[in-house]
Amino acid sequence: MMGLMQQHPLLISGLIEFAARFHGDTEIVSRRVEGDRHRSSWGQVRRRAMRIAHGLDQWGLPRGERVGTLAWNGYRHLEIYYGVSGSGRVLHTVNPRLHPEQIAWIVNHADDRVMAFDMTFAPIIQAIAPACPRVRHWVALCEADALPADLAQAVPGLLSYEAWLAGQSDALYAWPQLDEQEASSICYTSGTTGNPKAVLYSHRSTLLHASAAALPDVMGIGARDAALPVVPMFHVNAWGMPYAAAMVGCKLVFPGPALDGASLFELMDDEGVSFSAGVPTVWLGLLARMQQQGRRPRALTRVLIGGSAAPMAMIQAFQDDWGVDVRHAWGMTEMSPLGTACAFKAKHEGLDEQQRLQLQTSQGRPLFGVDVRVVDSAGAELPWDGRKVGELQVRGPWVLADYYQSGQPSPLRDGWFPTGDVVSIDPDGYVRIVDRSKDVIKSGGEWISSIDIENVAMSHPAVAMAACVAVPHPKWDERPLLVVVKKPGAEVQARDLLAFYEGKVAKWWIPDDVMFVDAIPLGATGKILKTRLREQLMELRTSA
């Protein structure tokens, strides 16, 4: 029997209409490429998103066509999010940290017809424009008088965003009543080998994901919060924050290009930021700044850490030193991206400090909407005993069914998406990532978790950043090597660092050696780039 409820599609235009209607004067604050701080509101974002929609109509851009962006987190990017998807076009956020050749490949693969970009990325645009003949309009996110003449000459069809918007009608735009299953945005995986793969999100998947993300045990945001996404809007839609924020009507604070600890601290402090989200590497800078200042940004109470494993020392520093709650979360581009988040249950009240921290280093429980299982190499399901380790598989309404135009068969197995992450799951459903399957260290037929090894190193006071990689070994196949960046001014010897492991991990897990370096290569999303690190080590070994 059919239920007698109304049928309304879940649409991104509905989010901006809601935010403008009920939270129209709630602020959207952005640090801009121009260097200043800009103040807007949900009401203004809606009006300018409508101008974008009028402008795209005027260009005759059909529904379903792609509009690309190469931009920092800021109000203009937010306007484009809503103007493009709301009017039925597909937003394609491109990661500017990729190599220009890869960017051109992605732009052409997605068949972007419009590209909007922050002036920081003008050199990239200049480099890729000749290779992207299908892009008809290049939109610089600046005022008309900020357009450099040489760029205009090099890039045919270049115009200023502000001039373009000023030329559009201010009339209310009638957002189309789309099918909620239609595509709303597209994001490419930051594939470290081969060409990146395209994940196409729908209006429905985006709204369901946003409502799960906002829940108390995940981001836990509401209308009184001021949220600052450090996670970039150019990768997996800043973990859904631009949508979740509209859904709850909170203030948004955008850092623009200034992601160093001092800039983040100042912006958070001034704007009363209560919640923020980012990868572990960005928090190192903020924590160092908090240490210097002897306090936290005044209103900061919660941070979501994900993208790679949050070290225990980082969780501890936020919570014990500064009273900032940590939510450790796991996800993937293929999952919009949130899959699990680590919040306590009532039964954990009685745990002691160490047990609570230990639990928080797990990636947490699945969000409602995400189903998980762990399987062995033959595909047989493993028990949730917190010990058996296998591949994590997921399914749900915001999990990928197939890559967009990959030319490959769907990656699903019996309807489950294989994540490539090696995990155990405990009886309460807490997922613990042991490693990426390609990063796990296989020593003497057993596995060593590079994440666990890194976590221990990160708790040493002299260590700023640590990465553990496998090096070939004649007897054991592979052995762990620890690569370390020391904190400025700190001193530690390899043998002391290795001794520090005793009693903390099994003896045979202790790395064979430590290598001190000035920097560890980071990928386009701020994660340690182990492929590159392994290549660098190989180069060193062959040249030695």
Active site residues: 189, 334, 442, 447
Residue 465 DSSP SS3: strand
Closer residue to ligand AMP, CB minimum distance, 15 or 524:
524
Verify binding: residue 421, ligand AMP, rule CB under 6 A: yes
In the stretch 281-320, what mask flags binding to ligand AMP with x, by CB under 6 A?
A: -------------------------xxxx-----------
What is the contact mask toward ligand AMP in residues 334 to 363, using x (rule: CB under 6 A)? ---x-------------------------x
Report the DSSP pairing between strands 27-31 and 37-41: antiparallel
- Closest to ligand AMP by CB, 69 vs 308, is 308
Burial classification of residue 114, based on how many CB atoms lie within 10 Å of its CB (0-12 exposed, 13-18 middle, 19 or more buried): buried
CA distances (Å), 229 to each of 108, 135, 267, 440, in order?
28, 29, 12, 30
Give Cα 228 distance to the centre of its chain. 13
For the CB of residue 72, give the shortest distance to ligand AMP in the complex, in Å: 18
How is residue 128 written in tokens? Answer: 């890729």
CB of 236 to ligand AMP, least distance (A): 6
Q: Which residue is nearest to ligand AMP (CB)?
A: 333
User: Shortest approach of ligand AMP to residue 279 CB, angstroms?
Assistant: 8
Q: What is the 3-state secondary structure (H, E, C) of 371-440?
A: EEEEECCCCCECCCCCCCCEEEEEECCCCCCCCCCCCCCCCCECCEEEEEEEEEECCCCCEEEEEECCCC
What single letter denotes the amino acid at residue 512?
A: D
Work out whether 436 is an interface residue with ligand AMP (CB under 6 A): yes
Nearer to ligand AMP, 119 or 236 (CB): 236
Tell me the closest approach of the beta carbon of residue 138 to ligand AMP, in angstroms.
Answer: 27
The least CB distance from residue 527 to ligand AMP, in Å, is 7
Residue of 320, 332, 393 whose CA lies nearest to 357: 320
Query: Under the criterion CB under 6 A, does residue 455 sit at the interface with ligand AMP?
Result: no
**Nearer to ligand AMP (CB atom), residue 178 or residue 433:** 433
What residues are paired with 422 via a beta bridge? 391, 435
Report if residue 206 touches ligand AMP, rule: CB under 6 A.
Answer: no
| Beta strands at 275-278 and 302-305: parallel, antiparallel or unpaired | parallel
Question: Nearest distance from residue 340's CB to ligand AMP, in Å?
Answer: 8
Please, which residue, 54 or 327, has the CB nearer to ligand AMP? Answer: 327
Which of 19-27, 112-120, 143-151, 325-333 is the region at the interface with ligand AMP (rule: CB under 6 A)?
Answer: 325-333
Contacts to ligand AMP from residues 363-392, by CB under 6 A: 363
User: Least Å distance between CB 366 and ligand AMP?
Assistant: 13
Q: How far apart are CA 56 and CA 66, in angstroms?
A: 11
Q: Which is nearer to ligand AMP, 331 or 480 (CB)?
A: 331
Token output for 501? 């492991």
Which residue in 525, 528, 529, 534 binds ligand AMP (CB under 6 A)? 525
Q: Which residues pair with 30 in a beta bridge?
A: 38, 254
Q: Which is nearer to ligand AMP, 73 or 160 (CB)?
A: 73
Of the candidates 317, 256, 316, 253, which has an alpha carbon nearest to the alpha carbon of residue 287?
317
Q: Which residues contact 183 (CB under 8 A, 6 or more apart)?
A: 64, 90, 200, 201, 202
419: contact with ligand AMP by CB under 6 A: yes
Q: Which is nearer to ligand AMP, 93 or 308 (CB)?
A: 308
190 is a contact residue toward ligand AMP (CB under 6 A): yes
Token pair of 410 as six digits: 């769907």
Interaction residues for ligand AMP, span 226-245 (CB under 6 A): 236
- Cβ 209 to ligand AMP shortest distance, Å: 14
In Å, how far are 139, 199, 395 from 371, measured between CA atoms? 41, 19, 5
Site for ligand AMP, rule CB under 6 A? 189-190, 236, 306-309, 328-333, 337, 363, 419-421, 433, 436, 525
